[in-house]
Amino acid sequence: MSRKLQALLFVCGSAIFAYLVARIGVARLLADAAQTGWIFAPILILYGVVYACNTAAWWLIMADEPVRPPFWRAYAITVAGFSLNFVTPMVNVGGEPFKIAAAARWLGVRRAAGSVVIYQMLHTLGMLLSFLTAIVLGALLLPPHPALLAGLAVAFVVLALLCWLLLTGHRRGVLERALDLIHRLPLLRGVARRIESQRATLAQMDVQMTEFYHRRPGRFFQALLLEYLSRSIFMLEYVLIGLGVGLHITYLQAYAIGGLTSLIQNAIFFVPFEVGTKEGSLYVFFQLLGLDPALGVYTAIVSRLRDMAWIGVGLGLVWLAGRQPAREGATAP
């Protein structure tokens, strides 16, 4: 995507955001913020619990290694990695290389890369399962418009297919096959030739991935459950924000809102910082569920403030997570 198109999308998203704020009124948003101020601390703590689940899933993946980072260090690496992804809009490429480099001091580069790839696939699978849950809840809770139900049905089929592909990758390996596929695509053959020198490494990572699935199925599904649990805990944020302004939002409504909004944001990933897409999606879903749509935009603003706070924490942890592990007591499984 060109810089000009990226800038255009950012401007369009900003325009949508400005329109919604103007429609609701700055005074109304500030009044809600004053009323909700006390709830911001529990929201920050809640997201810390989400990160703890993410870390525990990654720690399970590393459990067979002779040594692995202590849990608190793995937590710091995880938070720092997610923060680096947040500050690289659209592509989210900063976090995974950082996690590999940080974990390599215990695992070595190849094993660290394998653990991060396995975790990322599990993280994506957990996210897809949460989207499927949100689609089912949306079909039950949203107004039964034929077009809306048809869209949800199509999304469900596509996401179910993606889940099957990810599970197949864990069972049979996917990285070397992906390289073979890229070789067959005319527009990507140049990329494939540059990656070809890493075929042996990709094959080793495939072996690491399939071994984890077949030799440790219990641990695989525990890690997947932790990833799904992290998404389920995250949905409580909408309940807390509603509570702060005196609005009763049930957990099932919160899950439908949060899951479907996240699905739209991931589908329109090319809008930098999700400007406008997040606010617009929340505005619409709040309205469809019979809730005050203005609070949808306010919810987006609160979640952005939470993101900024944790990004600050994560960037601060980049230094700590990257320190040498000497005499730190690396944990043996």
- pLDDT tens for 24-34 read 555 655 665 56
Cα-based distances in Å from 264 to 271, 276, 282:
11, 12, 10
**What does the pLDDT read at residue 38?**
73
Average pLDDT over residues 47-52: 94
Candidate ranges 9-13, 143-147, 281-285; pick with highest mean pLDDT = 143-147
**What does the pLDDT read at residue 87?**
67
Cα separation of 80 and 316, whole Å? 8
Cα separation of 232 and 236, whole Å? 7
**What does the pLDDT read at residue 35?**
61
**What does the pLDDT read at residue 13?**
44
Query: Is the pLDDT reported for residue 5 higher than 70?
Result: no
Cα separation of 149 and 147, whole Å? 6
Q: What percent of the chain has pLDDT over 90?
A: 23
Candidate ranges 64-68, 181-185, 218-222; pick with highest mean pLDDT = 218-222
**What does the pLDDT read at residue 15?**
57
Query: Is the pLDDT reported for residue 240 higher than 80?
Result: yes
What pLDDT, in 10s, does the model give residues 6-29? 455 445 544 554 555 565 555 655
Candidate ranges 133-137, 172-176, 261-265; pick with highest mean pLDDT = 133-137
330 CB contacts (<8 Å, ≥6 apart)?
A: 67, 68, 69, 70, 106
Query: Is the pLDDT reported for residue 253 higher than 80?
Result: yes
**What does the pLDDT read at residue 1?**
39
Rg over CA atoms, the chain: 21
For residue 173, give the DSSP letter. -
**What does the pLDDT read at residue 322?**
57
**What does the pLDDT read at residue 107?**
85
**What does the pLDDT read at residue 112?**
87
**What does the pLDDT read at residue 259?**
92
User: Identity (one letter) of the amino acid at 308?
Assistant: M
Cα separation of 300 and 237, whole Å? 11
**What does the pLDDT read at residue 57?**
95
Query: Is the pLDDT reported for residue 132 higher than 90?
Result: yes
Residue 134's nearest CA partner among 6, 254, 279 is: 254
**What does the pLDDT read at residue 9?**
42
**What does the pLDDT read at residue 254?**
93
141 CB contacts (<8 Å, ≥6 apart)?
A: 252, 253, 256, 289
Average pLDDT over residues 42-70: 90
**Cα 151 from chain centroid (whole Å):** 23
Residue 228's nearest CA partner among 135, 77, 136, 122 is: 122
Beta pairing partners, 68: 331
What pLDDT, in 10s, does the model give residues 67-110? 888 998 999 999 988 877 776 654 445 678 888 888 888 888 88
Query: Is the pLDDT reported for residue 319 higher than 60?
Result: yes
